[in-house]
Structure 1
Amino acid sequence: MNDIFLSLSVGMRVLMAVATPLARQRIKPNRFYGVRTALTLRDDAAWYRANRPFGKVMLACGAGFFLFPALPGHWRENADNATTRIVLFLLAVSVPVICALINASREKRGSS
């Protein structure tokens, strides 16, 4: 393993730890942590509808970040997969955000 993978692993584990309470609906509406939009901050039900899927997608993407390198050919001692690992990390961070944006636009259309 190289330093890039170890650094990204620590970051991904932190993000997964942050996502777990969101997925389990343990975080109440607040201005610091979670998917924060005007609708989610004003409506508790909307908060949980937005944050639960975000947390689950973040956990799934984090699992993918760790499982993908285990595929044949990607997990070798001499393999230089720094670019692959960085792309995986960026995907694991951006996919939940994109899903949250899509969910927020659906919520907004549904509340209109």
Structure 2
Amino acid sequence: MNDTFISLSIGCLVLMALAIPLARQRIKPNRFYGVRTARTLHDEVVWYRANRVFGVAMLLCGAVFFLLSVLFGNWREASSPASSVVLFLIAVLVPTITARVTTKSGEAR
């Protein structure tokens, strides 16, 4: 198996595991874990909305990472590690941007 794929898969699984309590809205506002912006730390409604969106997006993007990795054959030894890295970056950036947009949209209200 491709070492890069294995490393990124472990990272993706860890992020997905950390996203579950956020998606289920089990984490209270804090300065250590979750989507932490000035807006989320000062407004509990925004905190739970942004973290739910981030958690669900992270779980979906993680699943897509694994699905596309199988379809592209990233797990094979002969495959290029670049495609695994790109998929991982997308799986991390999409939830982050989505949560940030959700937080920003709460400011307009």
- TM-score normalised according to structure 2 size: 0.92
- What residue in structure 2 maps to residue 49 of structure 1? 49
Unaligned runs of 5+ in 2: none
Structure 1 distance, partners of 2:5, 2:30, is 33
Check whether the contact 1:19–1:59 (CA below 8 A) recurs between aligned residues.
yes
Check whether the contact 2:23–2:53 (CA below 8 A) recurs between aligned residues.
yes
**Is the aligned partner of 1:95 residue 2:69?**
no
Structure 1 distance, partners of 2:93, 2:55, is 13
Structure 1 distance, partners of 2:19, 2:75, is 30
Larger Rg: 1
Check whether the contact 2:2–2:78 (CA below 8 A) recurs between aligned residues.
no
Q: Does the residue aligned with 1:48 lie in a helix, a strand or coil?
A: helix
Unaligned runs of 5+ in 1: none
Structure 2 distance, partners of 1:49, 1:107, is 9
Check whether the contact 1:74–1:81 (CA below 8 A) recurs between aligned residues.
no
- What residue in structure 2 maps to residue 74 of structure 1? 73
- Equivalent pairs, count: 109
- What residue in structure 2 maps to residue 29 of structure 1? 29
Q: Does the residue aligned with 1:80 lie in a helix, a strand or coil?
A: coil
Displacement of 1:79 after TM fit? 3.8
Displacement of 1:45 after TM fit? 1.5
Q: What is the aligned-residue identity percentage?
A: 57
Letter in 2 for 1:109: A
| Alpha carbons of structure 1 residues 27 and 76: separation in structure 2 relative to 1, 3 Å | closer
- What residue in structure 2 maps to residue 86 of structure 1? 85
| Alpha carbons of structure 1 residues 4 and 76: separation in structure 2 relative to 1, 3 Å | closer
- TM-score normalised according to structure 1 size: 0.89
Letter in 2 for 1:87: V
Structure 1 ranges of 4+ moved more than 4 A: none
Q: CA RMSD in A?
A: 1.5
Write the deviation string for residues 36-90 of structure 1: whole angstroms up to 9, x where unpaired.
Answer: 122211221111111101100000000011111222x535745413111000000
